[in-house]
Amino acid sequence: MKIGASTLCLLDKSLGVALNKLVRYKLDFVEILNEGYHSLNKYNYHLHLGFLESYGLKNIIHAPFSDVNIASLNERLRRPMLQLIFNTLEIAQKMGSLLVVVHPGHFSPLSKRFPRTYEKVHKRSLEEIDRVAQKLDIKVGLENMPAFPILDGLTPERLYELIDGTELYITFDVGHLNTVNSEFEEFIDLLGDRIIHVHLHDNDGKNDNHLPLGEGSIDWNALIRNLPKNVTWGIEMESLRDLEKSLKYLQSLV
């Protein structure tokens, strides 16, 4: 497997500073969270790409998700939000990214009232993302979400429904599933051949608090044996110190 880290742990720093700090670790790739200070655009991507390539590092891009809902029933909002995803896919093509991580849509008061329309709009957005991704020859991994009232895509069965009929892949977020039901084997059994990327972080089984590996309730010794090995594993921490802890812990297991 290839092991990397998300820029989430340095989200309060500029992307240049974040990458400069992350290249000090023995990583195979960096997952750039395309938001805030880490936003990529047609003017800055080549600088960051050149820097990563000078260290022999690949990249993955996590598409914007704050304030983004690809399943919005308000078309005047859905179109520009989809365009954010399309723009990310275009930059990913230019950067030779291994894949782009995308969040499913989520519920709103209106979509709760009109669930059938929500299903159609959600599916339509995913199909549009799939078409653009295929045209650009970029892989997309739809990420499973943590337990939270408005979120969708929590279980493997639901993710299977969402990607059915498309060529979209799955980003398996271990920490997120731990807040839902901790049924890791079932997730891998159902979606195994569609899993293209894994997010690693720990928690207490209730809160999506991105603890260092080994400091939550996940049985990593059992899980590591079952995780697909021919995909990328990205550590998602909220501080550089926790990233260092997690890297050491992971290295002791693999």
- pLDDT tens digits for 81-138? 999 999 999 999 999 999 999 999 999 999 999 999 999 999 999 999 999 999 999 9
Give yes or no for residue 67 having a pLDDT over 90. yes
C-alpha 77: how far from chain center: 22
Distance CA 144, CA 151 (A): 10
- pLDDT tens digits for 26-53? 999 999 999 999 999 999 999 999 999 9
Give yes or no for residue 1 having a pLDDT over 90. no
- DSSP result, 72-99: -S-HHHHHHHHHHHHHHHHHHHHHT-S-
> Looking at the DSSP assignment, which residues form a beta bridge with residue 62?
33, 101
Distance CA 137, CA 160 (A): 22
- In 3D space, the residue among 162, 70, 169, 73 whose CA is nearest the CA of residue 125 turns out to be 70
Residue 61 gets which letter from DSSP?
A: E
> Do 218 and 193 form a contact (C-beta atoms < 8 A)?
no
Distance CA 74, CA 64 (A): 19
Banded model confidence at residue 254, pLDDT cuts 50, 70, 90: confident
Q: Can you give the pTM of this predicted structure?
A: 0.97
Looking at domain 2-253, its CATH class is alpha beta
What are the residue boundaries of the structural domains of the chain, listed by start?
2-253
